[in-house]
Structure 1
């Protein structure tokens, strides 16, 4: 499988969330060989979308001459688009949002009804693509944190999507937390192997991965310096 990983964290390879993503990719490789390309979005030259819609009227050519054209070509050549990023203000980090905004050339101005909503008609064939979101956050719980970004991802990619959200993710960058993070990453690796084999992750396994690693109160106390 050809996998394009878009790392949306400004921390690049030091991203808390990338620990989760790397474990997932290792699990996929356990099942079968994978062709993986990781792109740190922060290092790419991507101009802001101006909303001129020229790309939607001229077959997909943008007015900007930057790295986005090559990235879109790679997206269309991939089998799995995996977006890995930390939760910023209940959404994705700004550099990744700029990338998403600049995917406008993939669709035209024409609209069609799909289910109970309207979508733009594509100018490119990306029906083969599968989509994955791996998102971590620094809060100790998932409720009232991930809902906006999960809704956004599902609306952007209404089919063939898989979503992993992990609270307490800064613990993955803390060696002293290995007692709980190592077993959790083992579960993520198991999920990657499962996904590579079946295209899905067992609901019970996914729920365990997305749950807090330690009690919410203890995590908050550690973050607040109350527990050394």
Structure 2
């Protein structure tokens, strides 16, 4: 399987969330060896979408000539897209959002009704793609934090998606927290192994990997204690 990881964190490989993503990939590779490529959105030359819709009218040809053309080719050549990013203002970081906006050439101006909503008709065949969202945040819980990002992801990728949201994610970059982060990463590897078999993660395991690693009030006290 060809897996394309789009890392939205400006920290690149040092991203808190990339610890989670790498564990998930390790689990997938335990089940079956995959071809994995990681793109750091912050390293790419991606101009902002101007909303001119030229790409949607002219067979996918964008007015910008930058790295996005090659990224679109890699997306279409992949079997699985993993969107890995930390929560920024209840959404994705700006470099990743610019990349997502520039996937517009995959769609045309024409639209059709799917269920109770309208969607643009594709200019390319990406029906084979599956999508995973792996998102972490610095708050100690998931409630009233991930909902906007999850809603956006489901609307952008309504089919074949899996969503993993992890609170307290800065702990993955804290060596002193390994007593709780190492067991959690092992569970995330298990999730990768399950996903590799049938593209699902059992509800019980998903509940475990998306829950706080330490009590919420304890986490908040630790964070507040580091504020100068």
Pair in the same fold by TM > 0.5:
yes
Residue ranges of structure 1 left out of the alignment (5+ in a row): none
Offset at residue 29 of structure 1 (A):
0.4
Residue 68 in 1 paired to residue 68 in 2?
A: yes
Give RMSD over aligned pairs.
0.9
Q: 1:68 to 1:183 in 2, by over 3 A?
A: same
Offset at residue 125 of structure 1 (A):
0.1
What are the Cα deviations for residues 122-160 of structure 1, in whole angstroms up to 9, with x where unaligned? 000000000000000000000000000000000000010
What are the Cα deviations for residues 95-129 of structure 1, in whole angstroms up to 9, with x where unaligned? 00000110110000001000000000000000000
How far, CA to CA, are the matches of 2:111 and 2:191 in structure 1?
37
How far, CA to CA, are the matches of 1:41 and 1:95 in structure 2?
6
Q: What is the match of residue 121 of structure 1?
A: 121
How far, CA to CA, are the matches of 1:97 and 1:18 in structure 2?
18
Q: Where has structure 1 moved over 2 Å in runs of 4 or more?
A: none
Q: What is the match of residue 199 of structure 1?
A: 199
Q: TM-score, normalised by structure 2?
A: 0.99
How far, CA to CA, are the matches of 1:138 and 1:169 in structure 2?
6
What are the Cα deviations for residues 17-61 of structure 1, in whole angstroms up to 9, with x where unaligned? 000000000000000010000010100000000000000000000
Offset at residue 3 of structure 1 (A):
0.1
Q: What is the match of residue 220 of structure 1?
A: 220
Q: What is the match of residue 145 of structure 2?
A: 145
Q: What is the match of residue 15 of structure 1?
A: 15
Q: What is the match of residue 171 of structure 2?
A: 171
How far, CA to CA, are the matches of 1:10 and 1:27 in structure 2?
25
Q: What is the match of residue 105 of structure 2?
A: 105
Offset at residue 226 of structure 1 (A):
7.4
Offset at residue 198 of structure 1 (A):
1.4
Q: Any idea what SS the aligned residue of 1:224 has?
A: helix
Residue ranges of structure 2 left out of the alignment (5+ in a row): none
Residue 88 in 1 paired to residue 88 in 2?
A: yes
Q: TM-score, normalised by structure 1?
A: 0.99
- What does residue range 131-142 of structure 1 map to in structure 2 within 5 Å? 131-142=131-142
Q: Any idea what SS the aligned residue of 1:52 has?
A: coil
Q: How many aligned residue pairs are there? A: 227
How far, CA to CA, are the matches of 1:41 and 1:26 in structure 2?
22
How far, CA to CA, are the matches of 1:66 and 1:60 in structure 2?
14
